[in-house]
Amino acid sequence: MGPGTRIDAGEPPQRQSPPNSYERDALVKALARAFRWRKLLESGDYASISDLANARRINFSYMCRILRLTLLSPKIVEAILDVRTDSQLSLQALLKPTSPVWTEQSGVGVSCNSVAKNLTSNLTT
């Protein structure tokens, strides 16, 4: 083969989706982080999401997306945590913005501004 010869290796292998237990583990870990970070914010240890993100050396945008999980309805959280159910929820789907109103949630995400407003209103009440 010369220097200009192209080798056709065929199509790249298809990516297999992770087993359900891996997806569930990622969801549970994300929920735990979200509620731990929310507790740190509500306790006053950090003045803002930005302060917490900087202190933890975590991307602000990522932290906001994970904090949205604290606004999920209890039914969705229970479905994630209940190992007996075959939850079709994915972390990727849950991180997408959606209504913080539980009755309007269809199993997918909320915005960083709504997280901040929710936390602020909880601190003042």
Domain annotation covers residue 1: no
Domain annotation covers residue 10: no
Residue 27 is predicted with a pLDDT of 87
pLDDT, one tens digit per residue, over 60-105 is 999 999 999 999 888 888 877 876 555 567 788 788 877 777 777 7
Domain annotation covers residue 3: no
Share of the chain above pLDDT 70, in %: 62
Which amino acid belongs to residue 29? K
Domain annotation covers residue 62: yes
Residues of the domain holding 28: 20-124
Domain annotation covers residue 25: yes
Residue 17 is predicted with a pLDDT of 46
Domain annotation covers residue 90: yes
Domain annotation covers residue 11: no
Q: What is the CATH number of the domain that holds 42?
A: 1.10.10
Counting the structural domains of the chain, the total is 1
Give the mean model confidence (pLDDT) for residues 16-35.
Answer: 78
Split at pLDDT 50, 70, 90, the class of 3 is low
Distance CA 81, CA 62 (A): 22
pTM for this predicted structure: 0.65
Distance CA 38, CA 117 (A): 12
State which H helix or E strand residue 2 sits in.
none
More confident residue, 35 or 116: 35
DSSP letters spanning 8-32: ---SPPPPPPPPHHHHHHHHHHHHH
